[in-house]
Structure 1
Amino acid sequence: MKPAFPPAIRATKVFRRVALTALAAALLAGVATPGVAAADSVAVPKAAAGPDRPELQQVIQEVVDSGYAGLQLRVHDQQGDWVGSAGVRKLGEVAKPPTNGRFWIGSSTKSFTATLVLQLVAEGKIGLDSPVAGYLPKLGLDRRITVRMMLQHTSGLFNYTGEYYNDGTFVPGIPATGKEWVDNRFHGYQPEELVRLALSKPAKFAPGTNWSYANTNYTLALLLIEKVTGRSYAEEMRRRILGPLGLRGTVVPGNRTELPGPYAHGYYRYQDADQWKVVDVTRQNLSLLAGAGDMISTTQDLQTYFSALQSGKLLPASLLAEMRKPDPRSTGLFGQYGLGQYVLDTGPDCAGIILNHDGSPPGGYGSLMYSTPDGSRTLTASLTMGDAAVDQSVVFPKALDKLIKAVFCGGQAGAADQANLVQ
């Protein structure tokens, strides 16, 4: 039995008007807003071409032409499976990105982490509305912060990659953008180190009184998983999700910096004094986003995982319903935030409610992960950044609009929905 959406979600459409513009900032600004589980020797299956879908190939070419180095897209719908790519695997070469390529998935990791925590809730090992401090007493957490608040970003915890306060003040955290990140992109961090850094800074608000996206919440979730299970986050991810679903192309990297092949190269454009520079950031250490944005995957594995999650294969119906209850104060990012995923209403002329969690590491890559509530229609993709000087706050919403309409709206939407999706 599939969980139904609360009436408030069905009725709420206001956030569609701003969702994609804010998504551009969250995804492509990377972390500034916002052990190994598989071996390199494991081959990633070569993607089958599937049915001929020239309209999808045209869309992904248009997206690449708007300013990206490459794009690989996987679609599953009533016509079957389709995979394709456009652009280049590496700047200066002509080969397209591999359609079975691995990539850094950034904050799409949060969905995996939330699912793992909720599996422990289902087993009675964690209470969804219990204080996190009860499980991790040595951190000195505010006892008002519950597991639900942690997963829904209502804890008020400082975002360790940098925090904007309501008065406009910005308090920096660990290096996560610009030249400072480029120079430090191979530095390794420990999860507890990141959480303690956040706890040394003022909270953004009292627990449960507001909403603010913070990577700290999901690194804290990693520590919670390890404390409760007595095993590493990577091992639990392998035992509970990666292994059972056969996700052989997915990696929890820890401190590793190599992206296992095959892969497309990602690039980062930054300002150094008065010069703009572009650097290949295919190699980077994402321990700075442990549990929050560090995983490596493929479009096939993301499709398998997200479809399995939405169709009820990973969680009982009651907890899947909890994931889909968004906090209305989260309006303006990917939709409204539930527990480890966004809830986006695309309107009656499209697919209605779709679930998603996109992501990006600090530089080079972006991931897209979308599904209908029954898991029957999915879009998963990887964008690679190039050397073009483009305004992502303008380009990305239009690119995502094209992809969503092509996959979930039959290639087009009504005039009102088109306006809402691209504003």
Structure 2
Amino acid sequence: MTGNGNSGFSEPAPDGAAEAPGVATTDSGDLPKAAAGQDRPELQKAIQEIVDSGFAGVQLRVHDERGEWVDSAGVRKLGEAAKPPTNGHFRIGSNTKTFAATLVLQLVADGKIGLDAPAADYLPEFKLDRRITVRMLLQHTSGVFNFTGEYYPDGTIVAGIPWQGQEWVDNRFHTYRPQELVELALSKPARFEPGTDWSYSNTNYVLARLLVEQVTGRSFAEEMQRRIMKPLGLTGTVVPETSPDIPEPHAHGYYTYQDAGQWKTVDITRMNPSWTSTGGDMISTTRDLHLFISGLMDGKLLPAPLLAEMCTPHPTGIPNMDYGLGVFVLTTDDGGTLITHNGGFAGWAALMYSTPDGSKTLTASLTTGNAELAFAEWAEAFQKAQHRLVNEVFCGGQAGSDDEAAPAQ
């Protein structure tokens, strides 16, 4: 997730490549359900049950041995009947981290960055602890304070920038500079000594963004377009920087919160995502997330040794879920392995799963509705939604129960 990650809440196609055979494409980018022979009632039932649990809408895309399946459920906008577009744009939250880690590792492959070099060598202005390596940033083992706040096991909370409640709603168009987020984080005590533990920190990935810009002399958005988006034909993916807009077509995202004892729901489709920066600011589609994670796992973006490093699990303390470099390594209920990095913050959630060879993927977007649910309740519903879909797609729908959901990111 993009807020407090410790709470437990991816041949290059030519530009504009067509969808897989059997799936028609419309001018709007919206895709109907796959053609006859691809009917998947178990998936249709799963996404409808997710909507029934309180989400406003779901978009789901599955690529597996049965081909491609695409559909949506719920509504595009509260108060209207239209379903979400099946290839609509959405905010992908912490899936951004997988894109950023891939970009850094490409620069490692080019010899421009040393994976085990001190990050301070590239970003001297921040006077980082020289024990913090580039690998530790990507692996969340740096110990650097999470600028969205730290939640400790004993119940202690050390606040960062506001990202919930009325204060965030009132300031959701405020611009934060990446350097400002890093400086705020470094003004707080480190969570642990570098390399001695694991803790999810959005600050690590803002530092990674700045590292990319420092080494290349170009903006993060330019490097993303040049090195990842264009080679893979990701036509619906955006690095928005400070822009509050999201391209059409898209579903709407809603934030429900309590203020002065009253429940409020606000449409937060438009927001300035600079508050999260590379912790989770990107926009994409289920098609593009599929092309990205399958292409990454298939070796189209990284040489084999670095891809293996990326997917080498490091213990997190989260049951059945370890962390590599910008990806979670998930052990499924039936003992399989998936590479994943989901994301979520107010109004939005995004899922991205792949088998290690990229042959089977699940990508999805969920938008929250106007039910009176606190953030923790949304996180629990998100976890159950993830677990249900993973079991249906990767475990034959048989393993585990919804109550055993893996923690969200």
With the length of structure 1 as denominator, give the TM-score of the two structures.
0.87
| Residue equivalent to 2:354 | 371
Instruction: Report the CA distance between 1:49 and its aligned residue.
Output: 2.1
CA displacement, residues 132-182 of structure 1 (integer Å, 9 cap, x when unaligned): 001111111111000000000000101111112455321111111111111
For residue 199 of structure 2, the aligned residue among 199, 208, 212 is: 212
User: Following the alignment from structure 2 to structure 1, what is the Cα–Cα distance between the partners of residues 395 and 168?
Assistant: 38
Cross-structure match for 1:15: none
The count of corresponding residues between Structure 1 and Structure 2 is 384
Deviation at 1:33, TM superposition (A): 7.1
Write out per-residue CA displacement over residues 80-129 of structure 1, whole angstroms, 9 at most, x where no aligned residue.
Answer: 00100000001111100000100011100000000000000011110110
Higher helix share: 1
SS at match of 1:331: strand
SS for the counterpart of 1:72 is strand
- Asked whether the equivalents of residues 113 and 292 of structure 1 are also in contact (C-alpha less than 8 Å), the reply is no
Instruction: Answer yes or no: is the 8 Å Cα contact 1:153–1:211 preserved in 2.
Output: yes
Cα distance in 2, alignment partners of residues 346 and 334 from structure 1: 7
* Alpha carbons 1:106, 1:360 under 8 Å: kept: yes
C-alpha distance in structure 2 between counterparts of 1:277 and 1:334, whole Å: 36
Displacement of 1:208: 0.5
Distance 2:271 2:185 in 1: 22
Q: 1:244 aligns with which of 223, 231, 235?
A: 231
Does structure 1 residue 387 correspond to structure 2 residue 367?
no
Displacement of 1:422: 3.5
Task: Name the CA shift for 1:29/1:117 in 2 (closer, same or farther; >3 Å).
Answer: closer
Pair 1:404-2:387 in alignment: no
* Alignment counterpart, residue 82 of structure 1, candidates 52, 69, 73: 69
Structure 2: where are the runs of 5+ without partners?
Answer: 10-14, 16-26
How far apart, CA to CA, are the structure 2 residues paired with 1:388 and 1:240?
Answer: 41
**Contact kept? 2:2, 2:343, Cα under 8 Å:** yes
394-403 or 71-80, which deviates more: 394-403
User: 1:273, 1:59 → 2: CA distance?
Assistant: 36
Question: 1:95-110, aligned counterparts within 5 Å?
Answer: 95-110=82-97
Shift of 1:276: 0.9
Q: 1:265–1:384: 8 Å Cα contact kept in structure 2?
A: yes
Report the Cα offset of residue 418 of structure 1: 3.7
Using the TM superposition, give the Cα deviation of residue 187 of structure 1 relative to its aligned residue in structure 2, in angstroms: 0.5
Matches within 5 A, 1:281-300: 281-300=268-287
Instruction: Could you tell me which runs of 5 or more consecutive residues in structure 1 were left unpaired when the two chains were aligned.
Output: 1-25
Query: In the alignment, what sits opposite 2:24?
Result: none
Match of 1:67 among 39, 54, 58: 54
Task: Report the alpha carbon displacement of residue 232 of structure 1 after superposing the two structures with TM.
Answer: 0.4
User: C-alpha offsets along residues 382-421 of structure 1, whole Å, 9 cap, x if unaligned?
Assistant: 00000012423542332222111111112222xxx44884
- Indicate the residue corresponding to 1:317 in structure 2: 304
Structure 1 segment 13-412 matched on structure 2, within 5 A:
26=1, 45-50=29-34, 51-165=38-152, 167-328=154-315, 330-332=316-318, 335-347=321-333, 349=334, 352-361=336-345, 363-390=346-373, 391-412=377-398
* Corresponding letter in the other structure for 2:208: A
| 8 Å contact from structure 1 (residues 33, 213) kept in 2 | no
* Equivalent-residue separation in structure 1 for 2:293 and 2:63 (angstroms): 12
Q: Which string of whole-angstrom CA distances, capped at 9 and with x for unpartnered residues, describes residues 296-335 of structure 1?
A: 000000000000011111101111111111221x131781
Give the 3-state SS of the residue equivalent to 1:339 in structure 2.
coil
Corresponding letter in the other structure for 1:112: F
Q: Deviations over 1:314-372 (max 9, x none)?
A: 101111111111221x131781111000001114x36x0001000013x1100000000
2:115 and 2:40 map into 1 onto residues whose CA distance is 43
Q: Would the aligned equivalents of 2:205 and 2:279 in 1 still touch at CA under 8 Å?
A: yes
In the aligned structure 1, how far is the partner of 2:169 from the partner of 2:259? Answer: 10
SS in 1 for 2:51: helix
Residues 394 and 192 of structure 1: CA distance in aligned 2, closer, same or farther (over 3 Å): closer
Partner of 2:391: helix, strand, or coil? helix
RMSD: 2.0
Residues 1:29 and 1:261: Cα distance change in structure 2 (over 3 Å): farther
Paired AA for residue 358 in structure 2: G
Q: Distance in 1 between matches of 2:371 and 2:380?
A: 14
Distance in 1 between residues matched to 2:2 and 2:363, nearest whole Å? 15
Corresponding residue of 2:18: none
Aligned 8 A contact 1:30 1:360 in 2:
no
Query: When the two structures are superposed, what TM-score results if normalisation uses the length of structure 2?
Result: 0.90
SS of match in other structure, 2:212: helix
Given residue 342 of structure 1, which amino acid in structure 2 is its aligned partner?
F
Q: 1:419 to 1:99 in 2, by over 3 A?
A: closer
Question: Higher RCO, 1 or 2 (CA under 8 Å, sep at least 6)?
Answer: 1
Contact map agreement 2:338 2:355 (CA 8 A) in 1: yes
Amino acid at match of 1:49: K
Q: Find the aligned partners of 2:82 and 2:344 in 1 and give their Cα distance.
A: 23
- Identity among equivalent positions (%) equals 62
Q: Secondary structure at the match of 1:106?
A: coil
